[in-house]
Chain A
Amino acid sequence: MSEMPPIFELLDVEKAYQVSRPSGFPAQRSFQLKALDGVRLRVEAGSSTALVGESGSGKSTLLRVLLGLTQPTNGHARFRGHPIAEARAAGAGPGNGAGGAGSFHREVAMIYQDARGSLNPRMTVLDLIAEPLRHFRLCSAAEVPARVAQLLQRTGLPGDVARRYPTALSGGQIRRVAIARALAQDPAVLVADEAVSGLDVSTQAQLLNLLRDLQRSMGLTLLFITHDLGVASYLCEHIAIMYLGRIVEAGPTGAVLAAPAHPYARALRAASPQFFAPIAAPLPGEIPSPVDLPPGCRFAGRCGIAQDDCRQTDPALTRLSPARAVACLHPLAT
């Protein structure tokens, strides 16, 4: 067991919002919306983890907590052993650069789902990719064009893209520019939010291969948010499946997808389209709203095998085997 603290560690993290809804004019009732309800997660250095969930699962909120954009209302969120809020505040400013012990900002790079929106349309690709180079003082001003050319090549873009503007590039090219920019800051962690969704299958495949190669050759820690189990299985060694603000199953991707322990994980797997398998409609009902959850297991309402104690007790994520964890009172046989 390595001595280094894990890159990210979340312990019973909660994020609650107060929501008021009208109930009989003029009164208003105040509800608690728990976007995150007791999340336990460990991300080790050099690993690749997929965070999978549907709408209302809280994966976007979790992402914001990991990046330090929101603070949890409860629980601990740590980056390399230090609270994320502190790491963010301490690392502010470009002084650390390449030599420094690593400011949080430099070490954690993000690729957004809306890659085009995350790039300033008034800046050329060169300026966009050079921005982290200049901000973190990773090379001298004279070296910038060479570095940018190197990054473009790394991400499979032709060199002449550097002087163009984002509006002139296609969807796949824009994603690559976003990846190049993330790599420019020489990060230790790459966080990608649905980085390949909404793309053609062939473009998606190209980008996935790129990400996998980069992760392996650079030893990056990869945290990949996706709703697509196929992408998760291709790219990531570990998987964490979220439902309504909690991680309900976690473990090695192959093992979890081959034999899911949590009924929701099994339903997700069954719902993924597979060649010539008949369409399964594995889960009845709609995804419930995180506002005002009933007591007991959050999945009990839709679970096929829910029992009485499931409606009383809310299971936390507990160890099932050395590598796997599940939040279920009656996990399926694995």
Chain B
Amino acid sequence: MTAVLSPAPTDQQPAADTADPLLEVCGLTLHRGTRKIIDDVSLSLGRGETLALVGESGAGKTTIAVALMGLLRRHEARIEGSARFDDMPDLLALREREWTRLRGRRLAMVFQDASAALNPCFTVGSQLMSVLRRKLGLSRAAARTRAIALLDDVGINDAAARLSAYPHELSGGMQQRVMVAIALSCNPELLFADEPTSALDVTIQAQIMRLILDQTRARGASCIFVLHDLALASQSCDRIVVLYAGQVMETGPSETVLTRPLHPYTKLLKFCVLEIGTRELTPPAGGVPSFDAMPQGCRFSTRCPNALPRCASDKPPLLQVEGRMLACWNPQ
């Protein structure tokens, strides 16, 4: 599936997507006060696809996910752009009442820290069943049966007994499984997973990633992962969007982008990933500029080894190059 572009000023529209994308975000821009947190981000997601939003902290990846779930209050941020979801023309224009119907049923989210996302005062069963009853209108008995089936699906042994467990009685991995169960309970079409495994031990991480991928695949759902680990992104996602300080640097099929990165930032990011056996690391110097010092053009220009004078003032458009989309004046 090829990516669809944001309408660039130079109007370089590539071939239109033949398949009908599930989610199409155009020109998403987000301001918090005077700060432009997200700068003209566009992406598209096909049905049954997995997409990784990758970047370091401050890149805005969680903000994008949260904005697309309608979880940002109007007074917190000013959002521009559009997000077409299936038959709904613009998610970002929905009112809260419409969002309440949408969230949980067609869009769902798995958060990073399950112990914070689950209510400690209620049992796991009651939290799961309350979602089922409210969203699907099931009776108590039907919700209970379905809850047991869901807990089984996510690999929790002895599901019937676990319904009456409180979150703190479960391990981190089990709590995360419960979260996945709650997120998948109404068979959403789109699942967001915000760093779902960073808070877990290494051997459990693999289990949970496998679980999320298997379950979404089985239900025909699409998934957007927010990740900071490039290697994990390569293992789990079909497509990747590389973000830096709120701008898209490079996007495309993850295999293409990660085997042969063209953008200087993607290259640097890839070379900073520590695999077993890495002998040399060449990190970029410095850090992300503060918002007062943010360049108008490409935000990576302050640290880019290939930076040209025009990079800081002129924002490069996202163009199709060698099978992926690239925003760079001087990729070499």
A binds B: yes
Q: Complex formed: what's the CA distance from A277 to B232 in Å?
A: 9
Q: In the bound complex, what is the Cα–Cα distance between A179 and B201 (angstroms)?
A: 26
The CA of A228 and the CA of B281, in the complex, are separated in Å by 16
How many Å lie between the Cα of A271 and that of B201 in the bound state? Answer: 10
Task: Report whether B275 and A205 are in contact in the complex, using a CB–CB cutoff of 8 Å.
Answer: no
- Say yes or no: A54 contacts B203, CB within 8 Å: yes
Contact with A along B97-115 (1 / 0, CB 8 A): 0000000000000000000
Is the Cβ of B275 less than 8 Å from the Cβ of A271?
no
The answer to the question of A206 belonging to the interface, with a C-beta cut-off of 8 Å to chain B, is: yes
What number of B residues sit within 8 Å (CB to CB) of A? 43
CB-CB under 8 A from B171, the residues of chain A are 286-287
Quick one: given A275-B275, A276-B258, A287-B204, are A202 and B173 in contact (CB under 8 Å)?
Answer: no
Interface size class of A (residues with CB under 8 A): 35 or more
Assess whether B151 is interfacial by the CB under 8 Å rule. Answer: no
Interface string of B38-59 (1 = CB under 8 A from A): 0000000000000000001100
Contact with A along B204-228 (1 / 0, CB 8 A): 1111011001000000000000001
Q: Which residues from A are CB-within-8-Å of B235?
A: 273-279
- Tell me whether A282 and B203 are in contact in the complex, defined as CB-CB below 8 angstroms, given that A200-B228, A201-B269, A202-B284 are known contacts: yes
Q: Does B278 contact A (CB under 8 A)?
A: yes
Interface membership of chain A positions 262-281, coded 1 if the CB is closer than 8 angstroms to chain B and 0 otherwise: 00000111111111111111
A281 and B207 within 8 A (CB): yes
Q: Which residues of B contact A271 (CB under 8 A)?
A: 202-203, 205-206
Judged by a CB distance under 8 angstroms, whether A172 is at the interface is yes
**Contacts A201-B269, A231-B274, A274-B275 known; A206 to B210 CB distance under 8 Å?**
no
- In Å, the complex CA distance between A275 and B140 comes to 45
Q: How far is the CA of A153 from the CA of B247 in the complex (A)?
A: 33
Cβ of B272 under 8 Å from chain A: yes
Which residues of B, 180-210, contact A by the 8 Å Cβ criterion? 201-207, 209-210
Once the chains bind, are A272 and B276 in contact (CB under 8 Å)?
Answer: yes
Task: Provide the residues of chain A in CB contact with B231, threshold 8 Å.
Answer: 273-275
Indicate if A55 sits at the interface (CB-CB under 8 A).
Answer: yes
Q: Does A326 contact B (CB under 8 A)?
A: no
Q: Is B331 at the interface (CB under 8 A from chain A)?
A: no
1/0 per residue, CB under 8 A from B, across A300-313: the answer is: 00000000000000
Q: A200-B57, A230-B276, A281-B210 are in contact. Are A275 and B258 (CB under 8 A)?
A: yes
Residues of A within 8 A of B268 (CB): 202
13 A-B contacts (beta carbon < 8 Å): A200-B228, A201-B272, A201-B273, A201-B283, A202-B283, A205-B282, A230-B274, A234-B278, A271-B203, A271-B205, A275-B230, A275-B275, A276-B234
Q: Which residues of B contact A (CB under 8 A)?
A: 56-57, 171-174, 201-207, 209-210, 213, 228-232, 234-236, 255, 258-259, 268-269, 272-279, 281-285, 287
